[in-house]
Amino acid sequence: MLVLAGSVLSTHVRVGWRIRRNLWTGLLILGVLLLLAVSLLSDWLSQAPQLSLPLLAAAVISAALGRWGYPKLRALKLGQVIREDGPQAHLNKAGTPTMGGLLAVPVGVIVGGLVSPGDGRLLAVALITLATMAIGAVDDWRSLTKRHNTGLTPRGKLLLQGLTASVFLAWAAWTQQMDSAINLPLGLVLPLGLLIWPLGLFVFLAESNATNLTDGLDGLAAGCGAIVFSGLGLQLMLRGNTGDPALAGFCAAMAGTWLGFLLWNRHPARMFMGDTGSLAMGAALAAVSLLSNSLWPLLVMGGVFLAESLSVIVQVWVFKATKGPDGVGRRVLRMAPLHHHFELGGASEQQVVVGLWAVSLLLVLVGLVLLP
């Protein structure tokens, strides 16, 4: 009996160690690939070291700040409220400190801003990122104080996001900072004229809510965000005269801050970014892409965010379209967003996260190959 118990215990220890080893391997690969992505442009970086330093500086500061802030968030009892209708394995996450975006987002904004102090475009991107972070913080705070998983009403949150984005777009129109045509691969150009402004508003709302929906598994949004920011920054440097070193540096800093945050957000997460971080992440991606004419690269590289968002839209639409008198409709997925579908299909949380990181990396490579 003792031999059998010892064998079972040994098996569990080996399995647990293997899971931790695989997760750390995934984190290591992610970090190495991010650093290699920046290092590929050695000539550029030798002339402009401010583009290579933001990623490393932000990663170190974000990780260190997480060490300082984690006990503070725990002491404030800012614990996440978990959906009861979600995967049952997630119920043990209840009480995990949230609003970690308050620690990560400002680091990326400040370090990114130091790349080119006084640059008006950087200041605008920084302000809308922080403003959207504030909206997310209000949403998180209301959900925490009301002790359920919803904060602001969906309509109220969209209204605040729309107003913030409209101010940014009004500034961009006044200062003529945005192109009215979208650059596509093979030298193609899609002229939009005045339609660029409603499209810009849509991009802000869609991207910030897509990153928000993706933030449902430990490390998923942070890892994908770090990868996509790295890809956007890299393509801005590869574009030469049509690129933007200042915004590339900002992207590197944002990639670094989410990489540092991963030390605290990896499975099992010791803190969550909350809407505070996820909404700000999407707003920053949208702002950089609109100002640098990088909507096509964002669409390709941010494919995981797009898929997560579309999975919710399709699930809701099909359910409502097929709903019968009993109020029950068909479901395309086991559960939306997409990452929960994979979980309920038998994949572990770590497998889903690392798999979607790998997809993001692949999409970044595709985006670099298909540069406009």
**Which residue bears the tokens 């669409």?**
299
* Residue 188: how many other CB atoms lie within 10 Å: 10
Helical H runs in the chain? 2-39, 42-47, 53-75, 101-113, 120-146, 154-175, 196-214, 220-238, 245-265, 274-291, 295-301, 303-321, 338-344, 349-369
Residue among 36, 88, 62, 90 nearest 217 (CA): 90
Say if residue 372 is preceded by a cis peptide, omega within 30 of 0.
no
The confidence score (pLDDT) of residue 244 equals: 84
Backbone angle region of 240, left / alpha / beta, with phi > 0 → left and psi within -120 to 50 → alpha: left
Residue among 249, 228, 294 nearest 55 (CA): 249
Most confident residue range from 68-77, 235-244, 340-349: 340-349
Q: Who wins on pLDDT, 186 or 40?
A: 186
The confidence score (pLDDT) of residue 116 equals: 84
Handedness of CA 349, 328, 309, 296 (dihedral sign): positive
Task: Kindly tell me if the per-residue pLDDT of 91 is higher than 60.
Answer: no
Task: Kindly tell me if the per-residue pLDDT of 125 is higher than 80.
Answer: yes
**Which residue bears the tokens 């690129």?**
243
Handedness of CA 96, 147, 206, 165 (dihedral sign): negative
Work out the average pLDDT over 342-366.
Answer: 91
The confidence score (pLDDT) of residue 211 equals: 97
Which of these ranges, 123-132, 163-172, 277-286, 326-335, has the smallest mean pLDDT?
326-335
CA-to-CA dists, residue 303 to 41, 122, 199, 308, angstroms: 25, 25, 18, 9
**Calpha distance 62→188 (Å, rounded):** 40
Which of these ranges, 29-43, 52-66, 315-329, has the smallest mean pLDDT?
29-43
Q: DSSP 3-state assignment of 97?
A: strand
**Calpha distance 171→120 (Å, rounded):** 10
Half-sphere exposure in the Cβ direction for 168 (13 Å, CA):
33
Cβ partners under 8 Å of residue 330, min gap 6: 318, 319, 322
Mean pLDDT across the chain: 83
**Calpha distance 177→120 (Å, rounded):** 10
Query: pLDDT band at 73, cuts 50/70/90?
Result: confident
**Calpha distance 58→54 (Å, rounded):** 6
